[in-house]
Each structure stands twice: as structure tokens, then as C-alpha cells.
Amino acid sequence: MHDFKTIERFIKKLSLDYDTGCWNWTGYLNGGYGAFCIGGPIRTNRVRKAHRVAWEIYNGEIPDGMCVCHHCDNPKCCNPNHLWLGTHKQNMEDMKSKGRLKYNPAKSGELHHNNKFAEMDITSMREMYAKGYTQDEIATIFNTSQPVVSAIVNHKRWKHLP
């Protein structure tokens, strides 16, 4: 999958943490995760997450739709013994079980930076929908789109409200 020169260049960017066993990425970070460039000329390079490249080097291809998750919860770690394959849902459940996926009221509902509605608007939309208004009618009344209304009335947005 990866040629010898690519693997050699990859390994040079790892540093072993003897206490944790993590192989920490020492190169460029993007969102806390290692970023590794694979490809030919600079304009055609592909930037990949380093832990995903590590998985491919040591374990082979990553099946479509799968995440490469960390047992160690260290986003810089590329130790294949600390990595596992899981779905996005499994990764989120793992984060939640370890207390790393937390609801932050300061970033949701009326306090969200992109918010356009008050909580009473959401309650009204859900009540109107329950009474038989169509999503298009609700969207027109609240000056929004049908997909937004759908997400609200189906509890995909504003989940913290009944």
C-alpha cells in the first residue's frame, strides 16, 4: 500500500513515550491529530491523518466508513497496538464511556453562535407539527427551510428540549 520511502519518512516523525507506550507524532498537527502528506509533487499531495496511515502500514486497508480509534485517547499516538477500527457511532460511544464527550450547554440551543430561534420557537414548531401543520408550512412561518424544520421536529436538533 505504501512504498518504503513513504514508510521511512513516516517513521522518522514518531517519538516513543516510554511511560505510555504511545508513538507520538512529531510532525504537523491538524486539530490535535498528526497530519502526514502522501503523494507526488507538492500540488498533488494528499494530507492524511497520521494514525490512519499507521493503521494502513501495520494492518492494511481501512474498510470504507470505518474510523481508526485510539484506546489511549491520545490523538498524536500512532502505535498500532493503541488503535482499533470502529464505526463513528462506536467511537462516540467510546468517548462518552470515558467521559470525554460532554454536553456543553454554552454551545447549544439559544446560546449556540449560529442560533436563529428561541426555545419557545422550537416548542411551537413541534406542537404545530403534532397538530398537522406540514414542515413546509412551519418553515414559511418561521422563515427557515423545510430540512431545518425536519431536523427540529424529529429531534435531530435541539435534542435537549422535549
Q: State whether residue 6 is helix, strand or coil.
A: helix
Q: State whether residue 141 is helix, strand or coil.
A: helix
Grid cell of 133 as nine digits: 401543520
In 3D space, the residue among 35, 34, 7, 32 whose CA is nearest the CA of residue 23 turns out to be 34
Is 149:142 a contact under the CB 8 Å cutoff?
A: yes
Type of residue at 72: C
- pLDDT-derived band at 41 (thresholds 50, 70, 90) equals low
Grid cell of 136 as nine digits: 413546509
Sort strands 14-16 and 23-25 into parallel, antiparallel or unpaired: antiparallel
CB-based contacts of 98: which residues, under 8 Å, 6+ apart? 73
Instruction: Note the helical H segments in the chain.
Output: 4-11, 50-59, 88-97, 119-130, 135-141, 146-153
| Mean pLDDT across 42-71 | 89
User: How large is the C-alpha radius of gyration of the chain?
Assistant: 22
pLDDT of residue 131: 96
In 3D space, the residue among 92, 86, 79, 28 whose CA is nearest the CA of residue 51 turns out to be 79
CB atoms within 10 A of CB 23: 24
pLDDT of residue 53: 95
> How large a percentage of the chain has pLDDT more than 90?
63
Give the domains, in start order, of the chain with CATH numbers: 4-97 (3.90.75.20), 105-153 (no CATH)
> How large a percentage of the chain has pLDDT more than 70?
87
Question: pTM higher than 0.75 for the full model?
Answer: no
CB-based contacts of 91: which residues, under 8 Å, 6+ apart? 67, 69
